[in-house]
Structure 1
Amino acid sequence: MVAPTLNTMQRRCGFTGFVALCCLLLLECLKVAGNVPFAQEVSDLHWHRAVATWYGSPEGDGSDGGACGYGSLVDVKPFRARVGAVSSMLFKKGEGCGACYKVRCLDKSICSRRAVTIIITDESPGNYGANIGRPHFDLSGAAFGHMAVHGRNTELRNRGELPVVYRRTPCKYRGKNIAFHVNSGSNDNWLSLLVEYEDGDGDIGSMHIREVSDILFFHEYFDYIKSKWNWSLPCKGKSRRANRYIDKWQANSNEWIEMNHLWGANWCVNRGPLKGPFSVKLTTLSTGRTLSARDVIPRNWSPKATYTSRLNFL
């Protein structure tokens, strides 16, 4: 067998590197929408006893804002008329925000067999909120009335307080993807995000952001080698400039910065200066499912803006 010449080995090195780079780019493109591994459902097959009340106007949508910080979202679909406040044991100091429950009243003479689906947006007031051992749902007038059989909504609301049963159910926002609202006051040194329209668990156990995108590095590096090496990937160590690209990527592309739970459904990171675009990784509280939305917040982000991803848990 004839030993390969130096030129042959260089061409092979270049071609192999080019193929490797293309494979990495392909993987990034496949992952760009996010990472949603399989996990158990959040559904609860068992009904649990609680008490329910209602507040606001009889056909009202619910509290505007509330202790979760959803603001005016509660006034529009899919939140509209489906929101509720819960006692401390379900609110979980804000970590229960966004979770969904089915609630059904028990009096067969007036209560419908169907349950209403409630999205947690607030904490119950007064003694209900402080009573850790007693599950309580404080529903919007519209949601409370929907538990009645047809035509007896007002009569049911006149009861004021009802024994009910409840169970956890997956959240489903048809036609919606997870969105991230940048809260007012956010800047290059302090970034606060509110998560919206999370299917499945609905709750959040942890959040991380990442400043530098893998795909940005590959685009820059690919353009560089295309112009300098005629589509061939140089072996590491041949070029200081190429090594700087590699070092930059290795140092930044995999660094997820942990965010702190601020209040309600709001999370923040106090570390600067921060530069977009930002990728965001969510881990749910209930089942530990993880989702990564790559470069969902653009380089020129601004406070009070909402940025929608291309994915969701369901």
Structure 2
Amino acid sequence: MESIPLHSTVWHSARATYYAASDPRDAVGGACGYGDLVKAGYGMATVGLSEALFQRGQICGACFELRCVDDLRWCIPGTSYIVTATNFCAPNYGFTAEGGGRCNPPNKHFVLPIEAFEKIAIWKAGNMPVQYRRIKCRREGGVRFTIDGSGIFVSVLISNVGGAGDIVAVKIKGSRTGWLPMGRNWGQNWHINSDLRNQPLSFEVTNSDGLTLTSYNVAPKNWNFGQTFEGKQFEV
């Protein structure tokens, strides 16, 4: 599975389709685990990726710039749009990659909310040729840590990540522990089995650029499961 270079000026070829997100529930969920995308700060500027791009969830949170190409009838000329990877487009092996299995390997495919698709193409276009490149993410506020779990099982959703956008390693520290590595559960949900209750919590996150950001005492001693806390942010 190839990596997707960041900061590249080179555009790569892919295809894109859309879904009609008329139901508010369509903005909730996704394979990256962000939950309510509006509340998470991503809104409808989001995208689901085919297996060839998804990288088993490591790509979650990364930003892509898309533009429509090769069709003067449907492309909106001179436009591009920036979206965040928040979901997975599963393969459909009932079809071949060329005959209906749009998200089957080795296809590079983006599935956009219609609101995002219409920034670059007329909706009647359907399955459109596009070009894409990874770019740095610009976020407002700091990296967000949403703590969930029960007892000694601690799960942390990491969102609103600037810079590379995706996270490849996470450590957590209580006031009575050293730095403890967390494992990726799914998407950008990370977990650990450790009794961290009644301790202020610090986080160390590393992105795919190899940059590490440390946010000390993000959660106070009296934190509770279900709460979200904001730390520092990667520079862009």
TM-score class, shorter: 0.7 to 0.9
Q: Equivalent pairs: percent with the same residue?
A: 31
Taking the aligned partners of 1:45 and 1:138, their CA distance within structure 2 comes to 23
Higher strand share: 2
RMSD: 2.3
| 1:165 correspondence with 2:131 | yes
1:73-92 equivalences under 5 Å are 74-76=37-39, 78-92=41-55
Partner of 1:44: 8
SS in 2 for 1:181: strand
Higher helix share: 1
Partner of 1:282: 205
Aligned residues: 222
Q: State the 1:275 CA deviation.
A: 4.6
Describe the superposition over 1:176-208 as per-residue Cα deviations: whole angstroms up to 9, x where unpaired.
21110112xx23411100111100111011100
Partner of 1:138: 111
Q: State the 1:297 CA deviation.
A: 1.6
1:273–1:310 distance in 2 versus 1, CA, 3 Å: closer
Structure 2: give runs of 5+ residues left out of the alignment. 93-100
1:1-314 equivalences under 5 Å are 42-57=6-21, 63-72=27-36, 74-76=37-39, 78-106=41-69, 107-111=71-75, 112-127=77-92, 131-148=104-121, 156-173=122-139, 175-183=140-148, 186-212=149-175, 252=177, 255-272=178-195, 274-284=197-207, 286-314=208-236
Structure 1: give runs of 5+ residues left out of the alignment. 1-40, 149-155, 214-251
**TM-score normalised to structure 2 length:** 0.86
**TM-score normalised to structure 1 length:** 0.65
Question: Aligned partner of 1:171: which letter?
Answer: C
Partner of 1:222: none
Taking the aligned partners of 1:279 and 1:78, their CA distance within structure 2 comes to 22
1:129–1:188 distance in 2 versus 1, CA, 3 Å: farther
SS in 1 for 2:112: strand
Q: State the 1:69 CA deviation.
A: 1.1
